């Protein structure tokens, strides 16, 4: 990446902002998406929340966690009231993190996994421990995927819009090339909360 900067070539990062490099970025509105998902779980009366984080030092994880904490604060919960486990955005680590959540003395009432791999892994862990979802524990993921609606139970998710991110990034690059003006520092693409049975909601028509 440094080579592009040295040559003054226009660069826009997609999906993630690089905190240590002054590059424009197009990302999902990770803060708002996580805020809405957490708010939804809390509004259902669920107070013991576990969050399975991705890689801790990347912008997506940090922004999503900030959104969770904002929602928790609005419901009178402190940062210490959220059970945090790191799944590094991978299946195996997400599965282990979910087992650790389920095996705590005070089992959480809901798990929010920060990507689709960890959400699927969390559901596997829930089934392994013979915990009923959503009766005993609710589950929310971040990222929709084709089979999410076919899982047992169908998975509630924060849906991203990768097409819109790609289009916005190309538009920004084209504008920079044509005008010579700097790209917008950060563009956030809205997310959408897709509620299915895993959080205790009736599944709407797809």
CATH code of the region 11-199: 3.40.50.2300
CB 89 within 8 A of CB 115: yes
Taking residues 137-150, what's their average pLDDT? 97
Among candidates 109, 112, 111, which has minimal Cα distance to 142? 112
47/31 Cα distance (integer angstroms): 20
pLDDT, tens digit, for every residue of 16-39? 998 777 788 999 999 999 999 999
Domain ranges of the chain: 11-199
pLDDT band per the 50, 70, 90 thresholds, residue 5: low
With a pLDDT cut of 70, the percent of the chain lying above it is 95
Residue 58 has pLDDT above 60, yes or no: yes
Taking residues 75-98, what's their average pLDDT? 97
- pTM equals 0.92
pLDDT band per the 50, 70, 90 thresholds, residue 204: low
CB 17 within 8 A of CB 27: yes
pLDDT, tens digit, for every residue of 145-199? 999 999 999 999 999 999 999 999 999 889 888 888 777 789 999 999 999 999 9
Q: Residue holding tokens 């419901």?
A: 75
């Amino acid at each position: 990446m440094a080579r592009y900067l040295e040559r003054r070539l226009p660069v826009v990062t997609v999906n993630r902002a690089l905190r240590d490099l002054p590059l424009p970025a197009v990302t999902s509105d990770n803060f708002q998406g996580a805020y809405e998902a957490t708010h939804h779980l809390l509004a259902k009366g669920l107070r013991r929340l576990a969050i399975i984080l991705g890689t801790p030092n990347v912008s997506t994880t940090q922004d999503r966690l900030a959104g969770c904490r904002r929602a928790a604060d609005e419901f009178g919960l402190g940062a210490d009231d959220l059970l945090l486990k790191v799944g590094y955005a991978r299946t195996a680590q997400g599965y282990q993190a979910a087992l650790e959540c389920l095996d705590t003395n005070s089992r959480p009432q809901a798990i929010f996994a920060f990507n689709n791999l960890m959400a699927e892994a969390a559901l596997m862990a829930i089934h392994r421990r013979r915990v009923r979802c959503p009766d005993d524990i609710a589950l929310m993921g971040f990222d929709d995927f084709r089979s999410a609606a076919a899982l047992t139970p169908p998975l509630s998710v924060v849906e991203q819009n990768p097409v819109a991110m790609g289009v916005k990034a190309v538009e920004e690059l084209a504008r920079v090339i044509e005008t010579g003006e700097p790209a917008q520092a950060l563009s956030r693409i809205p997310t959408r909360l897709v509620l299915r049975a895993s959080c205790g909601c009736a599944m709407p028509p797809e």
